[in-house]
């Protein structure tokens, strides 16, 4: 039995954009492929972060939905605990 309540659909229709940014927030890489994102992060200088943002479409005039989220800590913990 779970006491967790979720209002999110199982799979969002949002287009996810991943960005690897340096310590100053300058984009080093951006794209929609999580694997490429991790490859770029592994080659990035210390202090680099991964941001993820949701977009309503992948068209040129698409709008950002909400704010970008820094998921660097989640990635680092997942890599430390590969047995998740």
Long-range contacts of 25-33 (CB under 8 A, 24+ apart): 32/58
Residue 36 gets which letter from DSSP? H
At 81, give phi and psi (nearest 5°): -115, 65
pLDDT tens digits along 2-60: 677 677 667 778 899 999 999 999 999 999 999 999 999 999 999 999 999 999 988 88
Euclidean distance between CA atoms 71 and 58, whole angstroms: 21
Task: Give the strand order in the sheet containing 49-55.
Answer: 27-31, 15-21, 49-55, 64-70
pTM for this one? Answer: 0.81
Sorted by where each begins, the domain ranges of the chain are 15-80
């Amino acid at each position: 039995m779970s006491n967790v309540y979720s209002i999110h659909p199982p799979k969002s229709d949002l287009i996810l954009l991943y960005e690897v940014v340096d310590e100053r927030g300058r984009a080093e890489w951006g794209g929609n492929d999580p694997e490429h994102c991790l490859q770029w992060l592994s080659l990035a200088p210390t202090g680099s972060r991964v941001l993820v943002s949701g977009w309503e479409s992948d068209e040129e005039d698409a709008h950002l939905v909400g704010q970008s989220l820094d998921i660097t800590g989640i990635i680092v913990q997942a890599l430390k605990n590969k047995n998740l």
